[in-house]
Amino acid sequence: MKALARSATLLAGFATALLALLGAGGAWVRPAADDWCYQTNMRTMSVRQFVHFLYQDSNGRAGNAVLLAWVHGLGPLGLQLYPVVVIALLLGSLWLLIARLVRLFGRHVPVAVQLLTAAAAALVFLLVCPQPYQTTYWASGGISHTVPAVLSTVLVSAVLCLPGRGGRAGLAGRWTAALALLLGFAFIALVSEAMALVVGVLAAALWLRAGDVCADRPARHAARLGALAAAAGSAGGLLVEYLSPGMHARSAGLGVPHGAELLHRLRDGLVTWLGDLATTLSSWDYAAVVLAGVVLGLTTRHLDPAALTRSGLFPRASTRRARTAEPAGSARTGDEATLAAPAGGGPAVVTATAHADGAAEHPTAAATPTTSGAVGAGSAGGAGGAGGAAVVTADVADGSDGGTAPAPEVRTEPPAGPALAVRSPLRLLVWAAVAVLLGSLLVTELVQAVFGSWIWYMVRTWNDWRLPYTLLLAAAGVAAGRLLAGAVAPVPGTPRRRRAALLLPALLGFALVGLAQPAVAVVHQTRVRAHHWDAQQRQLEAQLRRGVKNPTYVPSYIGHLRDAYTRSGRADWVASCINDYYGTHIHLPAHSTDWLNQVQNAPIP
């Protein structure tokens, strides 16, 4: 599979270049929709005042308010830095998550393949959606529906590194990880209640099926403790938000229904969920992450015992000695055990220490007993495997009788293996799929119950469950790759099988090229709008300097987001925010209402 690994390097470079292009496009981001209001608020409010305002009067999302304050507190520069930070965190956390899971499974995957899988998953998450602009560039909406998924990945990948290189932690390490998950997911719940629902469902699934992914009891205990902490943190954050004054104020303003009307909305939510699910499952754009997972599965190989020991996945063996009384005059130096026998003959105990590198030291007495071939040959590998500690006992006959010693009894300590091991990939994938689907249903029902008919404008709420769905597809690809690896294994006289496997990079390359089109399109739209916005900004500033009381503003829509316009003779709420932004009442040209009948992202006039 060397050729496959080399092609993965080129594909990883291409996918990373697309993400870099998206990050560079952030330089052309300009205020849109809610940005106008938040940019104006942060001119007169401190972070504390802004958080208090959202918690008390707006929506109760205190964590959301903290992130919004940090972004908008930097002014227009914060809007431009936001995509760069989000893309970097997403790619880095996915890469770390994949690398850590690979090591915890006791496997090795080329670094380029890990990067390829992470970059493909990031591209699919950011671009395969109804409005890539809202997912990638719009800070005010992305902090509610894109950043929570990214923060969850960052938190999980960081916690997986806490127990140590072997994947098993002591009591203090487990509780440290649990505390981090508790506080982290409580904050994420205060950023997005929809993401909290998804995390709660996934945590419950992990708690129930920890035995399907954990190799031993310590790993299962750690997984279940972490799942319980994540669920508790999400529930606690949801409770704090639900009891906030801002949540009640938003519910009163939106007119959240009760009784029969609520049931009607929930029924509509089920229909909406089925439509969204059909759209998602039928999208071929997700093929890139599946194929990347297949490449990862094909290039995965088991680490040899010596490499596992060096990496820390197999702990170094501790020396075990025979618990016997030693007469005076017997000596032990370091890890070397000498023959301890009474002067009158009889039973004696010989201990041989097996080191982690497989070498065993032997007794240095004059009458060395006969040992088994595994230990006598100087290798502990046949006795207990790499890293095991072998204890050899033998009865030495009285020297005067000239007897010979029987074969020794060998007791070994098996080394600790990797912390994770999947016993049934199909069963695990089914449980994960059920959890993701249930989480997506809860998110859709929540949005439908709160926003009603406005749900058609809330397509960005898909992001709360699409990242787990994307990772699920990658895992399915890995499982398929492991099955395919056996079918295309090098067999003498069958070179066609290996050549057939090389078709995979070509298919993956086509899938990544397909993702390049929406990436280039969203960057182009953002650049064109920035050109119009900057030109209009210069015109507005010139009109204000001349003392014009009602300067003209031409809307510039992008990404299905609202801009200043009038409907039925009433000023839109965005227009009022733009008035506050410029400190004057803007005037809309007569043709601005024509935008209402045009498709979103129409050419800028």
How confident is the model over 30-65, as pLDDT tens digits? 998 889 999 999 988 889 999 999 898 888 889 999
d(CA 140, CA 132): 14
Question: E strands within 347-435?
Answer: 389-393, 409-413
Which distant-in-sequence residues (6+ apart) come within 8 Å of 387 by Cβ? 305, 308, 309, 314, 315, 316, 317, 356, 415
What would the two tokens of residue 502 be?
């090389």
Q: Are the CB atoms for 384 and 411 separated by under 8 Å?
A: no
Instruction: Give the end-to-end CA distance of the chain in Å, rounded to a whole number.
Output: 54
CA 410 to chain CA centroid, nearest Å = 45
Q: Which residue do the tokens 């790759």 mark?
A: 481
In 3D, which of 218, 219, 97 has the Cα closest to residue 159? 97
In 3D, which of 350, 600, 300, 280 has the Cα closest to residue 480? 300
Sign of the alpha-carbon torsion through 586, 591, 592, 593: positive
- Alpha helix (H) residue ranges in 452-462: none
SS3 content of the chain, % helix, strand, coil (to 5): 65, 5, 30
Q: Are the CB atoms for 145 and 460 separated by under 8 Å?
A: yes
Q: Are the CB atoms for 316 and 347 separated by under 8 Å?
A: no
Q: Which amino acid is at 163?
A: P
Inter-CA distances, 212 with 104, 231, 421, Å: 14, 19, 8
Query: What is the structure's pLDDT at 445?
Result: 85
C-alpha atoms less than 13 angstroms from C-alpha of 149 in its C-beta half-sphere: 29
Inter-CA distances, 286 with 98, 123, 140, 477, 488, Å: 18, 10, 26, 11, 24
Q: Which amino acid is at 137?
A: Y
Other Cβ atoms within 10 Å of 169 Cβ, number: 18
In 3D, which of 8, 161, 27, 15 has the Cα closest to residue 90? 15
Q: Which amino acid is at 224?
A: R
d(CA 483, CA 479): 7
What would the two tokens of residue 566 be?
């009038």
d(CA 86, CA 26): 11
Which distant-in-sequence residues (6+ apart) come within 8 Å of 303 by Cβ? 106, 107, 108, 311, 313
In 3D, which of 230, 383, 402, 295 has the Cα closest to residue 4? 295
d(CA 58, CA 60): 6
**DSSP states of 500-568:** HHTHHHHHHHHHHHHHHHHHHHHHHHHHHHHHHHHHHHHHHHHHHHTT-SS-B------TT---S-EET
Question: E strands within 342-501?
Answer: 389-393, 409-413
Query: What is the structure's pLDDT at 78?
Result: 93
d(CA 68, CA 51): 9
Q: pLDDT below 70 — which residues of the chain?
A: 1, 163-171, 253-259, 303-417, 452-460, 488-501, 565-572, 589-605
Query: What is the structure's pLDDT at 474?
Result: 95
Query: What is the structure's pLDDT at 450?
Result: 73
Query: What is the structure's pLDDT at 477?
Result: 94
Query: What is the structure's pLDDT at 126?
Result: 93
What would the two tokens of residue 549 be?
């009381």
What would the two tokens of residue 132 be?
């890539």
Query: What is the structure's pLDDT at 251?
Result: 72
